[in-house]
Chain A
Amino acid sequence: MEKTWAERRRSMNNYLRQYWSLYVMLALPLTFFIIFRYIPMTYIQIAFKRYSIIQTPWEMPWAANNGFQYFIRAFQNQDFIYAVRNTLLLNFLDLLVGFPAPIILALILNELAFPKFKRLTQSVAYMPHFLSWIIIAGMAKQLFAPTNGLINIALTRMGFDTIPFLNDPNHWVGTYLLLGVWRNMGWNTIIYLAALTGINPELYEASAIDGASRWQNIRYITLPSLRPTIVTLLILNLGQILSSEFDRPFALSNPLVNSVSNVISIFVYQYGIRGLQFSLTTAVGLFQSVICVIFLFGANALAKKFGDRGIW
């Protein structure tokens, strides 16, 4: 039987009387998001307008070509095309190398027999996460410079050729990836280790009775149990495929490797902040966000298709 309007209102009132305090508590975070997330978003229109430091975005005149002047200019800019290519390349390789690494490390840690040694290894492995990229770049120069770097000095003394870790584009990509793994691998294991503790020990007991080997344990119990975590993180990571860190490529790059190290964030820094072309770089930023959202939805849909829960 249909509820009458009065009945519905009464149940609504009851509901509010019961839960109003929760809604009040929600007000604060909502205010935060409105002020610091949604109001600033109105400035996205800079991408479609001719920027001026003395006008509000509402007053700025529209850009040419129905406001799309700066998008057109970005895509005509060879540097931007390279920046997109480099961002995709570095992020994809980073995902390829950097994503499995913490899973492998977590599995190894999980198999360690001595708890003390396990804890020590874990701590040592996640320490680098607290170093900024500026410090790491400084260390990288001390280690990898062609003539003054420790490793190359050692190689030369042993009679080998020097390796251009930082001054040849191809080698640089390798150095970039490995430093990323070194810095982030330990930290990223934390979430997997947490998931590992959640696995029901009865499963392992049962498999022990069945005579399963360690490999079989990993293959048939541990990895499947980690699967939802892995999928969630993969989706989140794919959402970042066109977003770009600034300090990592900026600190590690030099004029010899610009052809691979100039990513979108560096493009934005050079043209926007240093070149003061704010409309152009806002357009680039907007483009970047749109692509990221597309990837996020795409990855989520794909995950659902393959039978996983996705992230929403």
Chain B
Amino acid sequence: MQRKRLVVIGLALILLMAFASMAMAAELVDGRFTTTRKITVEIYDRSNPGGSTPEDNFWTDFIKEGMLRDHNVEVEFVAVPRWTEDQVINNLLAAGDAPDIAVTYSYPTIQTYANMGGVVDLNPYLSEYKDLLPHLWDLLGDRNIYWNQDPDTGSIWAIEAILFQNKRINTFVREDWLNKLGLDKPTTLEEFEAMLRAFRDNAELLLGADADKMVPYSTSFDIGWRNDHLFASYVPEELSDREMFVFGFDDRRLLYPGYKEGVRKLNEWYNEGLIWKDFALYGAGDSTEDNMMKAGYVGAFMHNWDYPYRDGQEGIHANLQRLVGEDAAYIAVEPFKNDAGIYRKFLSAPIDRKVFFPATNDEPLASLLYLNWLANFENRRFLQTGEEGVHHVITADGAVQALPVTGEKIMNSPQNIDYTIVINGLDLGDPALTSKSIALNYAGVDARFIEAAYVITDNGARYGKNFQVGEITAEEGMGTVLSEKRNTLLAQAVVAKPGEFDAVWDRGFTDYLRSGGQAIINERAKKYDAMY
């Protein structure tokens, strides 16, 4: 508790230093500080098997050396577990220990801290130093930089990284099982269901002695994410922009009309024995389900658009090929049409992680220069593609083909997205070259799998729009509580007995609305109508 007092003293010091550092901006000679500055930067820790220490490895050395050389800034990385990042960054902020450059996918967390004076307003710094940050502006543009600007006060608590390939989710099925059973790739919900039943009923044929381990369809506690395409197909096509905004605060789109019927379908599957029964027991980051996929027990699932192909030799695809056989593979399919017959997917606008500076940051300029350094094409290209001959080879047509890497030079995340916090997705400068290279970017995976996934994942996409209506005060502090309630509601609805589904859903949904959901809906509707 003494910490509070320290925080206050700390903040006073920071204010002082902030003034001091503004005065010292003049001390920048050729982009370099005359005295060495020091910043700390958040880095996600994915703890993947065979991965390197995220805060100290080949890539961090590259960044550290570069920042010291170009700007005379020392960089130190602070690891934060990827799958519980919003909780951990919350704890760090509450403790006053957050890194100078922090990253999260949860904007409400930033907003809440900003309201308590815990976050730096970037607006004055961005205006003052714009000329020093050309690469950042080139990459993100006014759109992403001013995305979160408050329409009244002009404050910017976080800038949005750019989502270069706006890819989200895919439905994967075992291609070799389809072949064994003489089935075509499912193109409708009915065919998909028939396929799941065929998996279930032919367990002996498909898994032999392991028949009792058969999981026709697997999902996780995060029902909303892991069944997204199914649910999206139940949302009516004539959904308005206003509805998308008013109901859009839940990023799993729980409040969209029609969602309940999608969950009901999942509930039917569960009660037919088509879904992995243990899904709710394992929390974020648990590897139990991945291991079942690797061992070849899982027939179909929905997940991030390239999920089975990630992680090279440690990934699902490579393990499947080793443990089950050369022809064993997951392929992306597109079975879920909406009421207008479109394979509709809901994608966000091209924004990704939110980068912000906690109030404990006493080096705003050095921190902005860090982001600018990452946005520099040469630097991010190296981080994304690595060394020629080690991480990739250049093919005859100029595309960049990734090579499998193990050991110290391994990338812990696809294209090092965890380090390139201003961009998510490969960018080689030329769109045609980029998409050609992406297909080659999964070492050890046949390009046709990536191409199928790449095309399907945003086929029929409807993108989110930015409505700057200012802060929605009803959302403050409610983000995690409501996400938790959503996960609870969805998991309980999926496992409900068929006759009890409506009762379970209504109880959970009412609780969700009463616990703050309705207040947010009302405020969003009001602010939207006032603005547009």
Residues in chain A within 8 A of chain B (CB atoms): 39-40, 43, 51-57, 77-79, 141, 145-149, 156, 162, 166-167, 254-256, 258, 270-271, 273-277
Contact = CB atoms under 8 A, between A and B. Distances in A.
Nearest to B507: A259
B1 A273 contact: no
A78 B1 CA distance: 29
Interface string B265-293: 00000000000111011110000100000
- Chain B: interface secondary structure? helix
B477 A256 contact: no
B94 interface: yes
Contact of B280 (A39, A55, A256, A277): A256
B480 interface: yes
A285 to B, nearest CB: 13
Indicate the member of A39, A162, A277 with the most B CB atoms within 10 Å: A277
Nearest to A256: B280
Interface stretch (B56-64, B67-75, B487-495): B487-495
Given A78-B515, A270-B484, A275 B278 contact: no
A57 B2 CA distance: 11
Contacts of A40: 1-2
B290 to A, nearest CB: 13
A256 B478 contact: no
Nearest to B511: A78
Contact of A256 (B1, B359, B491): B491
B112 interface: yes
A276 B481 contact: no
B91 interface: yes
23 contacts: A39-B2, A40-B2, A43-B4, A52-B116, A52-B117, A53-B117, A54-B7, A54-B118, A54-B359, A55-B8, A148-B278, A149-B278, A166-B281, A254-B221, A255-B490, A255-B492, A256-B491, A258-B488, A270-B481, A274-B86, A275-B478, A276-B90, A276-B109
Contacts of A274: 86-87, 90, 480-481
B281 A145 contact: yes
Contacts, number: 99
Interface of B: 1-2, 4-5, 7-8, 11, 86-87, 90-91, 94, 109, 112-113, 116-118, 212, 221, 276-278, 280-283, 288, 359, 477-481, 484, 487-488, 490-492, 495, 511, 514-515
Indicate the member of A51, A271, A273, A275 with the most B CB atoms within 10 Å: A275
B212 A256 contact: no
Contacts of A256: 280, 491-492, 495
A23 to B, nearest CB: 27
A156 B212 contact: yes
Nearest to A277: B477
B113 A276 contact: yes
A255 B280 contact: yes
A146 B277 contact: yes
Nearest to B214: A147
A224 B94 CA distance: 51
Given A254-B280, A276-B90, A53 B118 contact: yes
A255 B117 contact: no
A43 B7 CA distance: 15
A275 B490 CA distance: 21
Given A40-B1, A53-B116, A78 B481 contact: no
Contacts of A156: 212
Contacts of B276: 147
- Chain A: interface secondary structure? loop
Given A55-B8, A256-B492, A273 B94 contact: yes
A275 B280 contact: no
Contact of A255 (B2, B94, B478, B491): B491
B94 A276 contact: yes
Given A146-B278, A148-B288, A254-B221, A56 B477 contact: no
Contacts of B490: 255
B17 to A, nearest CB: 16
A52 B484 CA distance: 25
A254 B86 CA distance: 19
Q: Which 10 A-B pairs have the closest CB atoms?
A: A255-B491, A275-B477, A53-B116, A274-B480, A40-B1, A54-B117, A146-B277, A255-B488, A145-B278, A256-B280
B289 to A, nearest CB: 10
A156 B492 CA distance: 24
B511 to A, nearest CB: 7
A78 B4 CA distance: 31
Indicate the member of A77, A254, A274 with the most B CB atoms within 10 Å: A274
Nearest to B477: A275
A52 B280 CA distance: 37
Given A270-B481, A274-B86, A276-B90, 10 more contacts: A54-B117, A78-B511, A141-B281, A141-B282, A141-B288, A149-B278, A254-B281, A255-B487, A275-B112, A275-B481
Given A78-B511, A273-B91, A275-B481, A147 B7 contact: no
Nearest to B278: A145
Given A53-B118, A54-B118, A256-B280, A273 B4 contact: no
B480 A270 contact: yes
A273 B454 CA distance: 39
A27 B186 CA distance: 78
B478 A54 contact: no
Nearest to B489: A255
B481 A271 contact: yes
Nearest to A55: B8
Nearest to B96: A53
B91 to A, nearest CB: 6
A54 B116 contact: yes
Contacts of B90: 273-274, 276
Contact of B477 (A52, A162, A254, A276): A276
A145 B282 CA distance: 10
A254 B283 CA distance: 8
Contacts of B11: 54
A50 to B, nearest CB: 10
Contacts of A167: 277-278, 280-281, 495
Given A54-B117, A56-B5, A270-B481, A255 B87 contact: no
Nearest to A165: B281
A231 to B, nearest CB: 35
B451 to A, nearest CB: 34
A199 to B, nearest CB: 46
Contact of B278 (A43, A54, A147): A147
B489 to A, nearest CB: 8
Given A52-B117, A145-B281, A275 B479 contact: yes
